[in-house]
Amino acid sequence: MSELPKTYDPQTVEAKWYRHWMESRCFIADPKSTKPAYSIVIPPPNVTGILHMGHVLNNTIQDILSRKARMEAKEVLWLPGTDHAGIATQVMVEKKIKKEEKLSRHDLGREKFIDRVWEWKEKHGGIIIEQLKRLGASCDWSRERFTMDPAYSRAVAETFVDLFSKGLIYRGKRMVNWCPVSLTALSDEEVNMKPQNGLMYYFKVEVAEDPGVFLTIATTRPETIPGDTAVAINPRDERYAKYIGKHVVRPLPAELALEKKLIPIIGDEQVDFEFGTGVLKVTPAHDKADFEIGQRHKLPVIEVIEANGTMNDLAGSDLKGEERFKARKIAAEKLNELGLLVKEEPYQNNVGFSERADVPIEPRLSEQWFLKYPSVTRAREIAQTGELKFFPERWQKVYEHWLANIQDWCISRQLWWGHRIPVWYRGSEMKCQLDSPGEGWEQDPDVLDTWFSSWLWPFATMDEQTKAKFYPTTVLVSGPDILFFWVARMVMAGIEYTGKQPFSDVYLTGIVRDKVGRKMSKTLGNSPDPLDLISKYSADALRFGVMRSAPLGQDVLFDEQHVELGRNFCTKLWNACRFRQMHGGESEGEITPSLLTSDDKWILLRLDRAIREINSSLAEYKFNEAAQTLYRFFWSEFCDWYLESTKAVLHSDHAPQKQNTLAVMDFVLSHTLRLFHPFLPFITEELWHGLGYQLELPENQGGKSIMFARWPKELDAQFREHYGLDESDEQWTQAKYDLIVAGRNLRREGNIQSSKRVKFIFKPGPDLPAYEIEVFKILLNAESLEVDRSFEPRKGMPNVQSPLGTLCLPLEGLVDIEAEKARLTKELEKISLEIKKVEEKLANPSFTSKVPPAVLEEHRNRLVEWQKKQELVRNALKGLSSE
């Protein structure tokens, strides 16, 4: 047993053990193992990513699950990797090249640019992987995958070809969400609706057939007027139905309006006559709903906005070349000049923003690839049957709702970085296959949505042997923000391509927010760098702090104080172990049942309780509950009471008794360290070795680590019987501690400094062994404790009574008798009230007849307890008044 240093130095210790675990291949999963499998695939962070608090939360949870499973003798695979993150990475490298070399990607050309991205990736990519290691993540790094690995890319392409051949992938000219900054189409999931304060413009158009008759149209986008090819009204709208079939003069572009360019008035059910004026301008080229109306009425499509968001020639000379928002203002001004603008009103509407570039998306007609999702029915079914379980449960409904309303997925992106679409063209011929059909065939220039590769992650990352052992995986831990993007799609891909759902449990974490509840974000600058926190407090502290404050599925309000608490806790753990070590003796000696003290029994029972609670919490993924229990057990029970009580033995010279106490301490500590290990991997490993605890597996099996120590099981009936433990021990000891607290209060009432040792007199109820007297003495910080059966405290002598006896502090005159009387009277009132409450319940026949016997019993016991207490307080009060 090497001596533990006085202070714990997490920085060197954490680095040391991580290196050791790696060198001992502790994290490597063996597909040939006969142990039951437990597997998790990491949600692959962006290769450009750096660790943020969300990753800390997410990966700590996965690490806890993995480490616990290893201790439960399972063969664990936690498979790590990164995602190529199409747009994010491309934009990042583009910016870098622009800045450093003043070149655009077009200057470089596609191939050269992609080479540059790869270069960047090799050099700087995957910083986050190193950061995860600092956190302590026990991933099998030998299996690290990247979504652009050759084998993985092959799988992506094969999937495309397969879905194409099944007729689920098709190409079509459709209205898509277009990002005018990234210059690519986006899926519906990549668009975020944001309320915007804008204006509603009302303008009028003249009915050509009825000169002097004007219709007023409300729009938020006057710049699209040049693209209007109809005006629509609801045929049931009595105000306007008569105009259907007539025409109006389209006011813009002005030059065409002068020529009396007309567009038809059509009737369409889709028009809401309650909204605006009930007259809708129809711009099939720039609005999804309008496009559909256009299809129904075979309206021409006039595009007036270019891909980059500027107006084109067809928008007319006034707007041409203008940026779309500027064009809006100009269009309004123009209408005003023409005397057609009726009014402008402030208006709030929801506008779709590109998730990536954070600019309003432009609905745009373009040729894209779409996927009709496979295995949708089955994906819904498994959520309904419970084959796929969500934690917290409520996400199941969200998942089902999404699947029920699922739309085809636009999977093509006009980017360079990503998986190129495996489709080749030669003239009007088209072929969908993995490799080029040969000379003269050109590959589709588009790449696939990044999620079209991520959805294969749980199985495309595994070779056949690995899959045989570890697929399907056990649990998926993810943020709810990617439930649709990723989780739901993985389920469908899993079912479609492996015939199995890719995981049975889905744990959705909360979102980490700052302490005022805002989402952590780079722009707000409110996201602390986890690496700084690790340097300042240690990885264990960070993990524990986050886990302790992260209830299942609730958002986590992050506050550095949580980490501080984690750090303090580690220090406490360290010092308690040092305390054990200072008393020497061999590690983990035999426990002799006959030598167990009441405190020993109490702590063993408490340990048992803690183990049960922790196991049931973890089974439901309630990590904060488990962390709380650990905290309470170790600090408030083990350190505050048990360790203090052992001083009675350890300061004595009864060697066998001392040995026995140390053995109990070791038993509890070794269990505690193991319970803590998934949460605090580093410090527990250091202490496990420092205290010389049993190293469960032979070294050649990577076993020289607490990582593979047996996960604690509850202390079963046999154990309890062997050591003579039962609940009455627990109650008795609890009563002892209660009396000690009361005794400590006496000191306070007597205004005695807590450092000062004083004499107590104890009048025992039943006889107490010398050991118990010693415990009283130590825990009361008493100079001496005189036991006197016949002692009667005189009036004014502070004393406190309990079923175990009366404890007196023989300092006369220090207590204000009247104040004490008042205090006791008040207490008595409180007790009487409680007694009345319980008595009333027990006297109520509807209560006694309906309630289960156990509850009844509990109430009866409670009544007895209260009555006892009442008796004691009454006596004390009598003692004060009588003399």
Partner RNA sequence: GGGCGAUUGGCGCAGCGGUUAGCGCGUCUGCUUUACACGCAGAAUGUCGGGGGUUCGAAUCCCUCAUCGCCCACCA
Q: Which is nearer to RNA, 272 or 699 (CB)?
A: 272
The residue assigned the tokens 């597909």 is 31
Q: Which is nearer to RNA, 141 or 402 (CB)?
A: 402
Q: Please state the closest distance from residue 4 (CB atom) to RNA, in A.
A: 9
Q: Please state the closest distance from residue 660 (CB atom) to RNA, in A.
A: 19
Pairing status of strand 503-508 against strand 473-478:
parallel
How remote is the C-alpha of 199 from its chain's centroid? Answer: 39
Strand partners of residue 420: 447
Residue 187 near residue 449, CB atoms below 8 Å: yes
Q: Which is nearer to RNA, 417 or 484 (CB)?
A: 484
Q: Please state the closest distance from residue 227 (CB atom) to RNA, in A.
A: 12
Where does residue 488 fall: left (phi above 0), alpha (psi -120 to 50 degrees), or beta otherwise? Answer: alpha
At residue 138, what is the residue type? S
Q: Which is nearer to RNA, 282 or 880 (CB)?
A: 282
Q: Which is nearer to RNA, 625 or 729 (CB)?
A: 625
Give the C-alpha separation, 374 to 499, whole Å.
12
Cα 283 to Cα 223, 299, 303, 329: the distances in Å are 11, 9, 9, 18
User: How many Å from the N-terminal Cα to the C-terminal Cα in the chain?
Assistant: 60
How remote is the C-alpha of 719 from its chain's centroid? Answer: 38
Q: Please state the closest distance from residue 699 (CB atom) to RNA, in A.
A: 31
Rg (CA), the chain: 37
Residue 103 near residue 97, CB atoms below 8 Å: yes
SS3 (DSSP) at 793: coil
At residue 659, what is the residue type? Q
Q: Which is nearer to RNA, 42 or 800 (CB)?
A: 800
Q: Which is nearer to RNA, 2 or 753 (CB)?
A: 753
Q: Please state the closest distance from residue 850 (CB atom) to RNA, in A.
A: 4
Q: Which is nearer to RNA, 376 or 398 (CB)?
A: 398
Q: Please state the closest distance from residue 106 (CB atom) to RNA, in A.
A: 33
Q: Which is nearer to RNA, 96 or 744 (CB)?
A: 744
Q: Which is nearer to RNA, 471 or 486 (CB)?
A: 486
The residue assigned the tokens 């974490």 is 509
How remote is the C-alpha of 772 from its chain's centroid? Answer: 47
Q: Please state the closest distance from residue 301 (CB atom) to RNA, in A.
A: 17
Q: Please state the closest distance from residue 349 (CB atom) to RNA, in A.
A: 4
Q: Please state the closest distance from residue 20 (CB atom) to RNA, in A.
A: 24
Q: What is the DSSP letter of 701?
A: G
SS3 (DSSP) at 761: strand
Q: Please state the closest distance from residue 440 (CB atom) to RNA, in A.
A: 42
Give the C-alpha separation, 620 to 213, whole Å.
69
The helix or strand, by DSSP H or E, that contains position 865, with its residue range, turns out to be helix 853-882
Q: Which is nearer to RNA, 350 or 436 (CB)?
A: 350
SS3 (DSSP) at 783: strand
**Non-local CB neighbours of 617 within 8 Å, separated by 6+ positions:** 623, 625, 626, 629
Residue 712 near residue 706, CB atoms below 8 Å: no
Q: Which is nearer to RNA, 349 or 784 (CB)?
A: 349
Q: Please state the closest distance from residue 310 (CB atom) to RNA, in A.
A: 20
Q: Please state the closest distance from residue 38 (CB atom) to RNA, in A.
A: 25
By the 10 Å C-beta count (0-12 exposed, 13-18 middle, 19+ buried), 462 is classed as buried
By the 10 Å C-beta count (0-12 exposed, 13-18 middle, 19+ buried), 692 is classed as middle
Residue among 624, 631, 638, 641 nearest 568 (CA): 631
Q: Which is nearer to RNA, 34 or 846 (CB)?
A: 846
Q: What would the two tokens of residue 238 be?
A: 């009595």
Residue among 142, 96, 137 nearest 119 (CA): 96
Q: What would the two tokens of residue 169 be?
A: 């992938």
Positive or negative, the Cα torsion across 339, 345, 351, 356? positive
Q: Which is nearer to RNA, 135 or 573 (CB)?
A: 573
Residue among 443, 420, 449, 439 nearest 431 (CA): 443
Pairing status of strand 412-413 against strand 81-82:
unpaired
Q: Please state the closest distance from residue 770 (CB atom) to RNA, in A.
A: 20
Report H helices in 724-852.
727-749, 770-779, 817-843, 845-850
Q: Please state the closest distance from residue 745 (CB atom) to RNA, in A.
A: 5
Residue among 45, 39, 82 nearest 62 (CA): 39
Q: Which is nearer to RNA, 206 or 834 (CB)?
A: 834
Q: Please state the closest distance from residue 13 (CB atom) to RNA, in A.
A: 14
